[in-house]
Chain A
Amino acid sequence: MPKIASFAELKAFGEQITADRDNEAILMTVCGGPGCQATRCHEVAAELRKELDSTSLNGKARLRVTGCHGFCEQGPIVVIDPSNIFYGQVKPADVKEIVDRTVRKGEVVERLLYVDPSTGKTVLTESEIPFYKAQTPTLLSQNRRVDPWSMEDYLAIGGYAALARVLAEIDPEKVISRIEASGLRGRGGGGFPTAAKWAACRAAHGEEKYVICNADEGDPGAFMDRGVLEGNPHSVLEGMIIGAWAIGANEGYIYVRNEYPMAVEHAKQAINQAREYGFLGEDILGSGMSFDIQVARGGGAFVCGESTALMASLEGKVGEPRPKDVHTVEHGLWNRPTTLNNVETWANVPAIINNGAAWFAGMGTDNSKGTKILALTGEVKNTGLVEVAFGTPIRTVVEEIGGGGRNGRAVKAVQTGGPSGGCLPESMFDLPVDFDVLWEKGSMIGSGGLVVMDENTCMVDIAKYFLKFLQDESCGKCVPCRIGVDRLLEIVTDITEGRGRPEQIELLKELGETVAQTALCGLGKTAPNPVLSTLRYFAEEYEAHINENRCPAGVCTELVEYSIDARTCNGCGACLKACPYAAIQGRKDKLHTIDLELCTKCGICLTTCNDNAVVVQ
């Protein structure tokens, strides 16, 4: 393995790789991301490899297995370049036809093409698919160009060039001022200006300093950090090394959540490669800088995404936050100056150095620059990871990229920012994706989760869901969070179970405000957001529960009853078999009925009946 000792050597090496690669060759890209793995993409990839090995195509066609492309809904995905043909939901059995027809003869396998649900027409190329078209691809689009296991792939797209330039010709202070000029703000939730953090850490006293990459990604509904770290780990490493140079750090950590074994594996092997090539270790690229990175696994606790808890966890302790009256940039890990940034924040750094601060600042709004990767999920047609420039209206994301509501139902709201964020009604979808605008409206970008909700989602239930999550995940140290969130949950549960009283609305607001103001850490301080934002925008749903004992969405089980519509039921018996509580009776081909004594209102029969005979009232 070549150890690269200087900027010039890196350049020559990169050019060599590009020259070696026959640009004429057909390149088949299979997404190997977590979503596609769940739909068995590795079988498709294995089949493709077999096919390539066994036919005379050797040398004419290459296969690349990459990280997440974003459009997980369509997995397994095969893209064939240079013609950019996109095949979705590919089965291993389709492979032979793809190779025989598309690779050999340049024909298109019509039935595997993507069908645009809004027009019903097939789309030939990846770049024409509406899901991709409205995006501003900068970070995420690199994923499909690199095999995460291949350093050569990363070098071929200009990898580590930013690092080499920085080490050769940009002083640490200048690096920080470029980041400042770019307007980069932290992608982990808080939106804190990255340059300010770096500058404070650089100025802090201490021989030993640390940089940490926060890959804890505990927000339910968010998976962009794993998308970047698993798909393009070197971009994160490069960002961290540049950051370490700017700050004067000599050690780094990537803190990865326990539920992401693939991210751990990819990060570890990328680190090993970077060491072999001389991007990590002693005297990096002949600059005299020494720096190394280790991977630490989390233990499965949402609160460990919080900076002080994360650092406690890295020290091998219980992940309890501590008061931040003393800042972590001065007294962080092992009480030494520490800079913590999110995965996406780090990955943006090389791009800013390569393309210039002005390029980055040219995207976005006044105070939110660049792009943000969002995790688009929930009741929307197209789900997956999408990257848009800040300032893009929510409507564009939900309707153009997401293709609107699923199953013909109307979209009612989006929940942004995970448990710390809030819900925004459809009437506010023209708001831009922007740190400050969403914050003013009682929600936040947070890590970038965007869960779409329709008329079948009860907003009071959503508030309850997040409170339950936070009650589970609170560390329990401080009173407002431990008891306050519990009391909020108690009240909201009362409301969803028909015991609500009108005066409780005010109490929710007052208590929510108290928790937000007085909790020790960010978890507690933002915990009331889901309740407060649903109260603000969906008060009528609360009122329906309280005043009329009615759940408009038919979700809150205490307020609904299940029955089977005699006119629609055809006696197929599917529900009877499905009910785990044996609450359904009926004979074959005869009307079935639900025993309300036994029924727990779990809703399984509802999802089982093909004829929509189960009624919720």
Chain B
Amino acid sequence: MHQNVDLVIDGSKISGRRGETVLDAALRYGICIPHLCHMPTLTDIGACRLCIVDHIKNGRSKVTTSCTLLVQEGMVIDANSERVRGLRRNIAELLVTQAPNSRAIQDIALRCGVTEPRYEFRSDDCVLCGRCVRACKEHYQAHAIGFVGRGQERHVEYPFREKPESCIMCRACVTLCPMSITPCDGPMKSGEGYFCGKCASLTQAPQYEAGDCTRCDLGEGFDCSGHL
């Protein structure tokens, strides 16, 4: 038996289950809040910050990540306020210019309204979303990979750079990775400052409007389609 709480997201009244996050509740109702590091069944760490929403309380609103915010009775959430959309666009811009060679990331960026990135492209092949690391640890207790180093040096690595015996070769790290689910090897090379536009499905992707799920490509790799 779930204990339910009523809350309002983007003006729609929805019924959340006590203990679930605002993001999970929203996705169950087909309200798509962009997200990247969130994966159902993995602990949420709030790393990508794409899932930010306005949490309105006592007339004040506070920006916070919906994947780490638990539903509460009477909560009012605005996942698409102008402020949130602007901030989200800026975060997506940071992400896509850092790691442009993934269709998943490009898709997120376009959908969040990034059209002309203002920073020079780099070509990282990891966005440090931690899906692989958490799957390895939480699903398989393998502890074979982890985040090593801090700040700019943070990266995913085996201990002492050698594959440990604890790795059970499940390949979960590869199948969950937004960089490898939908790689894009062509246009986004470091130094080229704009989207090439060759990828029709992406450029046609409509910007997200409040309330309507666009069933984007991301759904497959990113598991919100499963909720619908």
Contact = CB atoms under 8 A, between A and B. Distances in A.
Say if A and B assemble together. yes
Contacts of B149: 476
A518 B95 CA distance: 14
A74 interface: no
A325 B70 contact: yes
Interface string A11-37: 000000000000000000000000000
Contact of A478 (B46, B83, B150, B153): B46
Contact of A475 (B50, B69, B154): B154
Interface string B186-212: 000000000000000000000000000
A471 to B, nearest CB: 6
Interface in B98-126: 98, 118-119
Nearest to A504: B118
Contacts of B95: 479, 483
Contacts of B86: 514
B151 A472 contact: yes
A480 B49 contact: yes
A484 B98 CA distance: 10
A480 B94 contact: yes
A484 B48 CA distance: 12
A545 interface: no
Interface string B158-186: 00000000000000000000000000000
A476 B154 contact: yes
B64 A514 contact: no
Nearest to B154: A476
Contacts of B3: none
A479 B48 contact: yes
A301 B151 CA distance: 11
Contacts of B49: 478-480, 518-520
A475 B70 contact: no
A483 B95 CA distance: 8
B94 A487 contact: yes
Interface in A480-504: 480, 482-484, 486-487, 490
A507 interface: yes
Contact of B68 (A323, A471, A472, A483): A323
A520 B130 CA distance: 15
A88 B70 CA distance: 59
A322 B152 contact: no
B150 A514 contact: no
**Residues of B in contact with A, size category:** 20 to 34
B5 interface: no
Given A325-B69, A478-B49, A518 B152 contact: no
B64 A482 contact: no
A319 to B, nearest CB: 8
A477 B45 contact: yes
A4 interface: no
A531 to B, nearest CB: 15
B129 to A, nearest CB: 9
B80 interface: no
Given A477-B47, A520-B47, A507 B118 contact: yes
B63 interface: yes
Contacts of B154: 475-477, 482
A41 to B, nearest CB: 36
Contacts of A517: 63, 83, 87
B90 interface: yes
Interface string A359-399: 00000000000000000000000000000000000000000
Interface residues of A, number: 31
Interface string B38-79: 000000011111101000000000011100111000000000
Contacts of B87: 514, 517-518
Contact of B94 (A475, A479, A520): A479
B128 interface: yes
Interface string B116-148: 001100000001100000000000000000010
B91 interface: yes
Contacts of B64: 323, 325
Contact of A476 (B98, B119, B152): B152
A153 interface: no
Nearest to B98: A483
A474 interface: yes
Interface in A296-347: 301, 303, 318, 322-323, 325-326
B152 A478 contact: no
Given A325-B68, A483-B98, A517-B87, A475 B48 contact: no
Contacts of A301: 150
Contacts of B119: 487, 490
Residue among A478, A482, A518 facing the most chain B CB atoms (10 A cut-off) = A518
Nearest to A477: B47
B101 to A, nearest CB: 16
Nearest to B86: A514
B109 to A, nearest CB: 12
Given A517-B63, A518-B91, A482 B151 contact: yes
Find the residue from A301, A477, A519, A520 having the highest chain B CB count within 10 A: A477
A525 to B, nearest CB: 10
B150 A475 contact: yes
A487 B90 CA distance: 12
Contacts of B47: 477-479, 520
27 contacts: A322-B46, A323-B46, A323-B68, A325-B68, A326-B70, A471-B151, A472-B151, A475-B150, A475-B151, A476-B128, A476-B147, A476-B151, A476-B152, A477-B45, A477-B154, A478-B46, A478-B47, A479-B47, A479-B48, A479-B49, A479-B91, A483-B95, A484-B94, A486-B152, A507-B118, A517-B63, A520-B65
Q: Please provide the 10 A-B residue pairs with the shortest distance between their CB atoms, ordered closest to farther.
A: A476-B154, A323-B68, A514-B90, A483-B94, A323-B46, A474-B151, A476-B151, A518-B49, A517-B63, A325-B68
Interface of A: 301, 303, 318, 322-323, 325-326, 471-480, 482-484, 486-487, 490, 507, 510-511, 514, 517-520
Given A477-B128, A482-B154, A484-B91, 9 more contacts: A323-B68, A474-B151, A476-B153, A476-B154, A480-B49, A484-B94, A486-B152, A517-B87, A519-B49
